[in-house]
């Protein structure tokens, strides 16, 4: 988890209240963050991934100030129109299709403030931006830019500029090969015929996201008074949240926020939008979940201590909060505001004898077997998207869609686990081969035999990526697993869009189909921008366990 180092004097100024060291330590820990140390000069805090808005000194101080009652309620931010435009060209549609932009003026930078801006940019890149894959952030001195700005894609050989902290001009290929940022993030552009760039009306390239800014037009210094900010990526809502986190932090240090018009052909978007989102509050649900009996007045007060507004039984969610998706998220913040130290610890009036779940014992045995063979276990999400589950896997699989998904990255329940491993392999091409990974996780499919019309299974996905991997190699792993479990299984020929024809099979146990295995076909590898061969299998552990009983 990312750590922020905070100047204590600056922090207390933002908070508007000084606390004794012991009180400060206690309250920071109770805010839902992990305090590392407090000294007279510095506070070091570890921020949990669900609160990227607290990755800046200003964002953390804002949340803390509200929590201790110094400045409660919804923080208000004013946005004026700059009347400036960013033109989004059709050429980025299949490259990096969206951007969200703003201008902030009236800034006065010193070394400390420049460091803070760089820190929040990098920490958001690593966490919320998933190492720039999901969101790339660019910050530029607005005084050096001729408007309007264009966001477009060009062939790498046509892109040439002086990258940040380099001593000479380079073309796009040279930047990926020679510049430190190009070496670190060049894999994000693998397989693309064109690379995205921001360019101004003087044809000066501002940056090549998600890699690097221009040294000429993309470096802020003490003379910078106005900045242009862009977030680029694949989900417009995610980019807006990220932009909101940055501009509100800059507003807290005296900046004035100006909106920009984003021209997507005939469609126009205006960003940033700092209006609060409304969500109906289910007070009985929150009380039931927390074991409390709070009335509406008490709920309102607790929400305000967490930086929310409250009106007509609706909570007003700050525009920079990216973690509020459900009533359970609201309940968590109510619990923090109420104080975990104030909950009564009760011993249930039930006598029980604890026993480890037999299926969990079984899963642990499977994990131990694969770890012993040199595989590394991955932890993956049960939520996915249609592109990963079907299009990139060259497969047509019925999917269960979420009714109100916040992000297009996670808008379906996954039907199988192997796409999650393919994504991991795709994101780690720069690491050493062979790569041997596995994951155990839930998979979902429609089934009217269940009350929810959804059947849940625990699936095991195993993948090997190396220059000489083949069907025989992955079959040997499956053979070893079944032999270790004392089971015999059958193999039948099978066809599956993700696997090479003639090098794919299904595993059968007691007449039930429980696994697909084989070599991933070249088309699927290309979809994931993979160059090394991959052999894999996906096994339904729930069915396997049932067959063993």
pLDDT of 262 over the 90 cut: yes
- Domain residue limits at 311: 277-342
Domain boundary among 12, 33, 67: 67
pLDDT, position 136: 96
Question: Does this model's pTM top 0.95?
Answer: no
Residues 514-525, mean pLDDT to the nearest whole number: 93
Residues 227 and 328 in one domain: no
Q: What is the model's pLDDT at position 112?
A: 87
Q: What is the pLDDT of residue 185?
A: 93
* CA dist., res. 487 & res. 482, Å (int): 5
**What are the pLDDT digits (tens) for 332-390?**
999 999 999 999 888 778 877 888 889 999 999 999 999 999 999 999 999 999 999 99
Q: What is the pLDDT of residue 3?
A: 85
- Could you report the per-residue pLDDT of 177-194, keeping only the tens digit for each? 999 999 999 999 988 999
- Are 366 and 515 part of one and the same domain? yes
- Both ends of the chain: CA-CA distance in Å? 41
Q: How confident is the model at residue 17 (pLDDT cuts 50, 70, 90)?
A: confident
213 in a domain, yes or no? yes
The stretch 506-512 carries a mean pLDDT of 88
Token code pair at residue 152: 């477009």
pLDDT tier for residue 310 given thresholds of 50, 70 and 90? very high
Asked whether residue 499 is domain-assigned, the answer is yes
Among 294, 318, 342, the domain-final residue is 342
Q: Would you place residue 498 in the very low, low, confident or very high pLDDT band (cuts 50, 70, 90)? A: very high
160 domain residue, yes or no: yes
- Structural domain count of the chain: 4
Q: What's residue 37's pLDDT?
A: 87
Q: Are residues 31 and 11 in the same domain?
A: yes
Domain assignment of residue 349, yes or no = no
Q: Which residues contact 60 (CB under 8 A, 6 or more apart)?
A: 4, 6, 11, 33, 45, 47, 54
Evaluate whether residue 72 is within a structural domain.
no
Instruction: Give the pLDDT confidence score for residue 226 in this predicted structure.
Output: 96
Same domain, 388 and 519: yes
pLDDT at 372: 94
- 38: domain CATH number? 3.30.56.10
Instruction: Please say whether the beta carbons of 257 and 181 come within 8 A.
Output: no
pLDDT of residue 87: 97
Nearest to 335 by CA among 278, 286, 282: 286
Q: Are residues 98 and 207 in the same domain?
A: yes
Same domain, 146 and 51: no
Question: Average pLDDT for residues 245-249, to the nearest whole number?
Answer: 97
Residue 4 has pLDDT above 90, yes or no: no
Average pLDDT over residues 140-157: 96
For residues 81-95, give the mean pLDDT: 95
Q: Is the pLDDT of residue 228 over 90?
A: yes
pLDDT of residue 34: 85
Residue 40 has pLDDT above 90, yes or no: no
Last residue within a domain, chosen from 67, 91, 114: 67
CATH of residue 107's domain is 3.50.40.10
* Same domain, residue pair 496 and 407: yes
- How far is residue 28's CA from residue 30's CA, in Å, rounded to a whole number? 5
Task: Summarize pLDDT for 412-447 with one digit per residue, the tens.
Answer: 999 999 999 999 999 998 889 999 999 999 999 988
More confident residue, 407 or 89: 89
Phi–psi pair at 314, nearest 5 degrees: -115, 140
Give the pLDDT confidence score for residue 362 in this predicted structure.
92
Same domain, 381 and 482: yes
| Separation CA 49–CA 495 (nearest Å) | 41
Domain presence at residue 73 = no
Is 222 among the domain residues? yes
CB 422 within 8 A of CB 528: yes
Do residues 230 and 198 make contact, with C-beta atoms less than 8 angstroms apart?
yes
Given pLDDT bands bounded at 50, 70 and 90, which one contains residue 67?
very high
Q: For residue range 529-542, what is the model confidence (pLDDT) as tens digits?
A: 999 999 999 999 99
Question: Is residue 1 predicted with pLDDT exceeding 80?
Answer: no
Q: Report the pLDDT value the prediction gives residue 38, as an integer from 0 to 100.
A: 87
Does residue 391 sit in the same domain as residue 470?
Answer: yes
pLDDT band at residue 523 under the 50/70/90 scheme? very high
Stretch 294-319: mean pLDDT: 95
Assess if residue 155 is contained within a domain.
yes
**455-496 per-position pLDDT tens digit:** 899 999 999 999 999 999 999 999 999 999 988 889 998 889
- pLDDT surpassing 90 at residue 82: yes
The mean pLDDT value of the chain amounts to 92
The pLDDT value given to residue 371 = 95
């Amino acid at each position: 988890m990312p750590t922020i180092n905070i100047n204590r004097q600056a922090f207390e100024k933002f908070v508007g209240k000084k606390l004794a060291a012991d009180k400060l330590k206690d309250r920071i820990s109770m805010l839902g963050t992990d305090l590392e140390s407090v000294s007279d000069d510095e506070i070091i805090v570890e921020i949990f991934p669900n609160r990227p808005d607290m990755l800046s000194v200003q964002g953390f101080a804002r949340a803390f100030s509200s929590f201790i009652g110094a400045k409660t309620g919804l923080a208000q931010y004013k946005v004026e129109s700059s009347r400036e435009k960013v033109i989004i060209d059709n050429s980025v549609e299949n490259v990096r299709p969206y951007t969200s932009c703003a201008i902030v003026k009236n800034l006065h930078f010193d070394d400390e403030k420049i460091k803070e801006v760089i820190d929040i940019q990098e920490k958001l890149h690593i966490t919320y931006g998933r190492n720039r894959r999901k969101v790339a952030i660019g910050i530029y001195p607005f005084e050096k830019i001729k408007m309007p700005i264009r966001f477009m894609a060009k062939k790498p050989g046509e892109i040439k500029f002086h990258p940040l902290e380099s001593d000479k001009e380079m073309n796009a290929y040279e930047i990926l090969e020679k510049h430190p940022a190009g070496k670190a993030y060049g894999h994000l552009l693998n397989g693309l015929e064109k690379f995205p760039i921001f360019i101004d009306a003087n044809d000066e390239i501002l940056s090549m996201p998600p890699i690097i800014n221009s040294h000429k037009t993309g470096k802020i210094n003490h003379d910078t008074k106005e900045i242009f900010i862009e977030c680029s990526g694949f989900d417009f809502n995610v980019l807006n949240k990220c932009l909101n986190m940055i501009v509100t932090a800059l507003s807290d240090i005296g900046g004035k926020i100006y909106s920009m018009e984003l021209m997507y052909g005939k469609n126009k978007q205006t960003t940033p939008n700092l209006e609060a989102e409304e969500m109906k509050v289910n007070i009985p649900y929150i009380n039931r979940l927390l074991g409390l009996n709070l009335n509406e007045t008490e709920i309102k007060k607790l929400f305000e201590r967490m930086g929310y507004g409250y009106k007509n039984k609706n909570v007003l969610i700050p525009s920079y909060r990216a973690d509020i998706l459900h009533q359970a998220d609201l309940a968590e913040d109510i619990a923090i505001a109420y104080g975990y130290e104030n909950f009564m610890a009760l011993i249930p009036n039930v006598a029980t004898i604890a026993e480890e779940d037999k299926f969990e014992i079984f899963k642990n045995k499977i994990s131990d077997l694969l770890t012993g063979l040199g595989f590394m276990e991955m932890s993956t999400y049960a939520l996915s998207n249609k592109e990963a589950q079907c299009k990139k896997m060259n497969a047509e699989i019925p999917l269960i869609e979420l009714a109100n998904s916040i992000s297009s990255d996670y808008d379906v329940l996954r039907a199988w686990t192997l796409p999650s491993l393919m994504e991991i392999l795709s994101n780690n091409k720069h690491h050493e081969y062979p790569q041997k990974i596995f994951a155990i996780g839930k998979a979902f499919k429609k089934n009217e035999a269940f009350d929810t019309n959804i059947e849940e299974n625990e699936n095991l996905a195993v993948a090997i990526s190396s220059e000489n991997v083949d069907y025989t190699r992955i079959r040997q792993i499956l053979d070893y697993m079944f032999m270790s479990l004392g089971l015999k299984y059958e193999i039948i020929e099978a066809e599956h869009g993700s696997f090479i024809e003639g090098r794919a099979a299904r595993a059968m146990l007691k007449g039930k189909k429980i696994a697909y295995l084989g070599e991933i076909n070249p088309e699927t590898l290309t979809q994931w921008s993979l160059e090394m061969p991959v052999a894999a299998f996906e096994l339904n552990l729930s069915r396997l366990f049932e067959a063993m009983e």
